[in-house]
Structure 1
Amino acid sequence: MPRRIIVLTAVHAPSARYLPDAWDSLRAQRLPEGWEWHWLIQEDGRTDQVLPRVPDDPRVSFHQGRPGGPGVARTMALAHADGAYVKVLDADDLLTPGALARDLAALEADRTLGWATSRVLDLLPDGTTAGFPGDPRHGPIEPGALLDPWKSGGFRAPVHPATLFVRRDLLLALGGWMALPASEDTGLLLALNAVSRGWFTADTGLHYRKWPGQVTGQSAHTDPVERAARMTVVEARARALAQRRPEQT
């Protein structure tokens, strides 16, 4: 497997305007000698509004497909993900300097780790940032450690799935992102935590943009009936996977 990190971005037309900012944050990343990154952009749909925002660079590839939501777009993009690792970068978010190198260092140093996440700051419309309390300690996250806090905390995971960095083979073994209209990234995060150890970096790794058009800000995202169904299946999958995890000795 190439010593390559696939930075995977699902994008739809309304968020395409932020791709240049995401690109700038990616170009600023520095990796250890012998490693490279490739930016894989997958449009959720087929329009003429995204391609003009895609950088003309050999390290960037662009694909389209019929619309199905960000989870479907990301999973379809795995057909083109030929690196050892996959890093999520939403189209409207920004990596902080050193984010890729920190994730890579953690997983390269410990083969028992399957994935990594990091601290997040919200990027507000006025350009300021805001954090929130409750981050775990810097270091490993043991299998099963996220599920109960997620449920008791109002279905908010202790770490942010938008910062996910994961071994490609593990991601494929779990089938990619869940087939849900939303919360597909949380579903994947809890599934990963059900079967493998993870890592949390206390350094900020992502600026999570808040803007009126983002999917999580739409009314459908908080519909109580659909939300309850999503949370039920996310929890059930994580618990079923945990039951099948071999006991560690």
Structure 2
Amino acid sequence: MLRRIIIVTAVHAPSAPFLADAYDSLREQELPAGWEWHWLIQEDGRGDRVAPHVPDDGRVSFRQGRPGGPGVARTMALAHADGEYVKILDADDRLAPGALARDLAALEGDPAIGWATSRALDLLPDGSTVGFPGDPAHGPVERGTVLDHWASHDYRAPVHPATLCVRRDLLLALGGWMALPASEDTGLLLALDAVSRGWFSSEVGLFYRKWEGQATGQSAHVDTAERAARMAVVEARARALAGFPWRFPPGTG
């Protein structure tokens, strides 16, 4: 029986046209022998504008639900995540070639690693890409490293939460994504960092699309009061988790 990595995507109507591009990047992935992927697409709402863009492929499942933001949509999709690992893929992004195989190699190679990330490049409207300096070293990310960097660099994590691949059981133990209007993926990343070691691949794993309709480009995303509140609860959760004795794997210090 094939082992499975689950790809989870939250989508709303404006980003639905990009699903075809995301799908192409999935089809180009070469997995190790004995593995397959299953793509769970969860609409944040119940409309009729997303379904026409969902690929007709037996490896793809599409569901809808009450609107609550991308974190709610992804967490609802976990009800159908029947694989050992969960990989995030936003509807408007593309996986780089080999991304899934590298994630699996990191997580399968060390049972004490709870999550994996990789280098991301901005994908600009003209098709060009832009990278940024300051990536961590290739290899393990020690517990607490992400939170320390984030807290001292104006709430900017050293690794990109949109590149996360995580053990399903660990993801469920932490409750999935935070119930926030934004930064829910950063909240998950910091929670993971608080209880487990991670991994960073210096090879590009994601092309992060920049376009005028993306949620992080809207004015509400940078509202000063809301951002401060989001960052406060994200940090408080991570520090509370760090202060508890529970670690992944259980029994580690």
Structure-1-length-normalised TM-score: 0.98
Paired residues for 1:70-219 under 5 Å: 70-219=70-219
Kindly report the root-mean-square deviation, in angstroms, between the aligned alpha carbons of the 2 structures.
Answer: 1.2
Q: Mark the runs of 5 or more structure 2 residues left unpaired by the alignment.
A: none
| 8 A contact 2:15–2:92 mirrored in 1 | yes
1:207 & 1:177 partners in 2: Cα distance? 22
2:43 & 2:146 partners in 1: Cα distance? 30
SS of alignment partner, residue 57 of structure 2: coil
| 8 A contact 1:2–1:83 mirrored in 2 | no
Cα 1:117/1:84, change in 2 over 3 Å? same
Q: Mark the runs of 5 or more structure 1 residues left unpaired by the alignment.
A: none
| Runs of at least 4 residues off by over 2 Å | 245-249
- The alignment status of 1:20 with 2:20, answered yes or no, reads yes
| 8 A contact 1:194–1:245 mirrored in 2 | no
| 8 A contact 1:117–1:164 mirrored in 2 | yes
Deviation at 1:124, TM superposition (A): 0.5
Cα 1:235/1:2, change in 2 over 3 Å? farther
Deviation at 1:246, TM superposition (A): 4.8
Deviation at 1:148, TM superposition (A): 1.7
SS of alignment partner, residue 36 of structure 1: strand
Q: Which residue of 2 aligns with 1:224?
A: 224
Structure-2-length-normalised TM-score: 0.97
SS of alignment partner, residue 10 of structure 1: strand
> For residue 195 of structure 1, what is the amino acid of its counterpart?
V
| 8 A contact 1:116–1:164 mirrored in 2 | yes
SS of alignment partner, residue 145 of structure 2: coil
1:241 & 1:36 partners in 2: Cα distance? 33
1:203 & 1:143 partners in 2: Cα distance? 21
Deviation per residue, 1:94-113 (Å, 9 max, x gap): 00100000000000010000
Query: Among the aligned pairs, what percent are the same residue?
Result: 77
| 8 A contact 1:134–1:158 mirrored in 2 | yes
SS of alignment partner, residue 64 of structure 1: strand
Deviation per residue, 1:73-98 (Å, 9 max, x gap): 00000001000000000000000100
Q: How many residues are treated as equivalent by the alignment?
A: 249
Deviation at 1:2, TM superposition (A): 6.4
> For residue 49 of structure 1, what is the amino acid of its counterpart?
R
- The alignment status of 1:4 with 2:4, answered yes or no, reads yes
Q: Which residue of 1 aligns with 2:244?
A: 244
SS of alignment partner, residue 146 of structure 1: helix
Paired residues for 1:12-51 under 5 Å: 12-51=12-51
> For residue 52 of structure 2, what is the amino acid of its counterpart?
P
Deviation per residue, 1:24-45 (Å, 9 max, x gap): 0000001111110001000000
- The alignment status of 1:60 with 2:65, answered yes or no, reads no
> For residue 145 of structure 2, what is the amino acid of its counterpart?
A
SS of alignment partner, residue 121 of structure 2: strand
Deviation at 1:245, TM superposition (A): 3.5
| 8 A contact 2:2–2:34 mirrored in 1 | no
1:119 & 1:245 partners in 2: Cα distance? 31
Cα 1:246/1:44, change in 2 over 3 Å? closer
